[in-house]
Structure 1
Amino acid sequence: MQTSRSLRCLLGILRTRSVGVKDALRFTCPSGQLKFSSVAVDAETPSLVSEGLGKWQIVGAACITRLPVICPPMTPIEEEYSKLITKLEIDHSLKSNHELRLEQDVIRTELLKSSDLDDADLEESSQQTALEYEDACVEELKTFNFAPRVTEADQTGNLQTLNRALDRALVLLVKQKLGDEYQWVFPQSPWIPGETLRQTCERIIKEKCGTNLKVKVLGNAPCGFYKYKYPKQLRSEGFIGAKVFFYKAQVTGVTGEVQPGSDIAEHQWLTHNQLDGKLKSSYAKSVAMFLVSDQ
């Protein structure tokens, strides 16, 4: 019974040990007592040694988007469906004020022919009729020029302005200096102790994009995550790499003027389809986990 209790105690100790630890046990049982010696080997120790027992640096990044300004052109199926819905709405809806006015004008015209209108009705009938109003609206529509869907920035290939691809969602990418080289990423910066990750993201927008870009951060929790290791020559501060936490943000202003920070060489507003051509494959896979395409 004592040996059985000792075995249960031993199993309880083994269950509480950390994952990845292997124990080599040697058992001896003289005089009914259980004795053992343990040699612990941590399976994760070799990897920590190879990485210099360093820490991961916490980094925040802002995924700044601009929603479409106009609706994209409808496909043939969408056009057909839109016509069907419009016809059903007209057939099953009540008459509009303009339609009622047209009917009243017809009745008033018949009464004029029979001379059954009094002086007040005659004065009212001399005003603009619904049909005349409709003709005036049609003539005004003919002279109205709609704004072009294709802007000057689209024609010249200018990617640094929001006044392009009006029917698509745009995402801000910056060519930021990370280590010794520049890379295309979302604006990012290390987390400062005492900040929340959202506060880090708000600070990044001001430092990397300027104060003229009006942006609203969406939510208090990150929407995505990405991890990468620093080159060995850049691990002098004890960090083996960075863990990047993405936050979504939306442009609330009209112009979206970006004033790049000192460590940013260039910025571009790109559609979702253009991101893969700029981002590294591993970075693009992490972004695709939370950034839903608009097509």
Structure 2
Amino acid sequence: MATSLVKHAKLFCRLHTEIYSSNVIFESIKPLRKICHNYPCPVSVNQTLAIRKFSSHAKLEHGEEPVLRPSWKLMGAVCLERPPIVATEMNAIEQNYKDMVQSLEFENSVLSDHEIQLKSERQKMEQKQRGEIDEDEDSGNLLTAQDIEDLAAEELNKFTTANITTEADKIGDKSTSHRKLSENLILLIRKDVGKQKVWMLPHMEHVEGESLRQTAERAALQVGSGAKVTFFGNAPIGFYKYKFPKEVKVQTGAIGAKVFFFRAKVLQGQVSIHKEAVDEHVWVSKEEMKDYLVPAYLESLLKFIRTLLAAMHYNENCGRMVNLW
């Protein structure tokens, strides 16, 4: 009797590994329930609840040793974004709209103080040329509006814009965030999963007593420092689940990991990666992600990444500052 109870108690522990369905186990314990008169669970309850109570009864009344049910590890991951530093080039539609708005503003605008002064001085110059005004009149104005324009034009000619193509772009270095200045970049790290090295977002295992967001914040603090980072909201914006290789399952006693993604953005400074915590890392654009992430992981990210990249403005009431130092 006790041996059969132990057997079925162990079968219950495999319910969530999809080895045996609840229907199969429920039907198999029916004859044992009739033999075991002390079993308190009625037939009318939910199948899973009935099996759970029967397993507990087998342990308490018949000396069944506890069998650990396979579980999942909870992970908090941070999708750390470096926003664009320079404006992106406008497409044809955007350029046409800009030209139209500037034309309307010019048509509806009024003269500025400088333009009024320039117009007044030109009229006086014409009057002087016709002899209507004395040459020495208004000689106290040492700097005219035209002089100001000439000085401004000379200063503008000295100014040269910086090249948005950085040295990292030229040599193809993706380990720095100082590249692709007009695009959003996201930090990926390479981690060991069993015998494989897999690219993924920075993440850490959840610790009892902390929220998943706090877990993601720990992951951000572990991989880098030197920048101010803000997290958006307390709820995850994405989710991914994967199973561990066989050797990892044996070591950890877990089926796999359930990863919850949290969005964060660099507000100030440049993240300095901790070499002792991260072997390899890259800052990649959305288009470059497919070269690093496995398809299933990438698909989970793309479910929210489009919205993430479109939300460019930081709402101070929604985020909390985290100093990476």
TM (norm. structure 2) is 0.70
Change (3 A) 1:38 1:203: closer
Which of 85, 89, 110 lines up with 1:73 in the alignment? 89
Following superposition, the deviation at residue 38 of structure 1 comes to 6.6
Asked if residue 224 in structure 1 is aligned to residue 238 in structure 2, the reply is: yes
Equivalent residue number for residue 266 of structure 1:
280
Equivalent residue number for residue 4 of structure 1:
none
CA contact (8 A) 1:224 1:289 kept: yes
- SS of structure 1 residue aligned to 2:230: strand
Equivalent residue number for residue 122 of structure 1:
139
CA contact (8 A) 2:193 2:244 kept: no
Which of 274, 297, 305 lines up with 1:283 in the alignment? 297
Residue deviations 1:235-269, cap 9 Å, x none?
2333211110001111123332222443x320000
Equivalent residue number for residue 292 of structure 1:
306
Q: Amino acid of the residue matched to residue 187 of structure 1?
A: P
Following superposition, the deviation at residue 203 of structure 1 comes to 0.9
CA contact (8 A) 1:212 1:259 kept: no
Equivalent residue number for residue 215 of structure 1:
229
CA contact (8 A) 1:213 1:258 kept: no
Percent of residue pairs bearing the same amino acid type = 34
Following superposition, the deviation at residue 192 of structure 1 comes to 0.6
Q: Amino acid of the residue matched to residue 73 of structure 2?
A: Q
Superposed, which structure 2 residues align to 1:78-157 within 5 Å?
78-110=94-126, 112=128, 113-115=131-133, 121-124=138-141, 127-157=142-172
TM (norm. structure 1) is 0.76
1-structure distance, mates of 2:90, 2:45: 70
- SS of structure 1 residue aligned to 2:270: coil
- Aligned residue pairs total 254
Following superposition, the deviation at residue 41 of structure 1 comes to 5.6
Change (3 A) 1:210 1:39: closer
2-structure distance, mates of 1:90, 1:230: 64
Q: Amino acid of the residue matched to residue 217 of structure 1?
A: F
2-structure distance, mates of 1:168, 1:283: 22
2-structure distance, mates of 1:163, 1:39: 61
- SS of structure 2 residue aligned to 1:269: strand
Residue deviations 1:258-286, cap 9 Å, x none?
22443x32000001100111101110011
Residue deviations 1:204-236, cap 9 Å, x none?
1111x2322432222111111111111232223
CA contact (8 A) 2:75 2:204 kept: yes
Equivalent residue number for residue 14 of structure 1:
none
1-structure distance, mates of 2:244, 2:169: 38
Q: Amino acid of the residue matched to residue 267 of structure 2?
A: T
Which of 159, 166, 175 lines up with 2:181 in the alignment? 166
Change (3 A) 1:270 1:37: closer
- SS of structure 2 residue aligned to 1:123: coil
Following superposition, the deviation at residue 288 of structure 1 comes to 0.5
- SS of structure 1 residue aligned to 2:119: helix
**Which moves more between the two structures, 220-229 or 77-86?**
77-86
Which of 178, 181, 185 lines up with 2:193 in the alignment? 178
CA contact (8 A) 2:225 2:271 kept: no
- SS of structure 2 residue aligned to 1:291: helix
Residue deviations 1:122-157, cap 9 Å, x none?
313xx2221222122222222211101211111111
Gaps of 5+ in 2: 1-21, 28-41, 52-67, 311-325
Provide the aligned C-alpha RMSD in A.
2.9
- SS of structure 2 residue aligned to 1:137: helix
Residue deviations 1:79-114, cap 9 Å, x none?
232222111111112222321221222244356542
CA contact (8 A) 1:173 1:186 kept: yes
2-structure distance, mates of 1:122, 1:41: 103
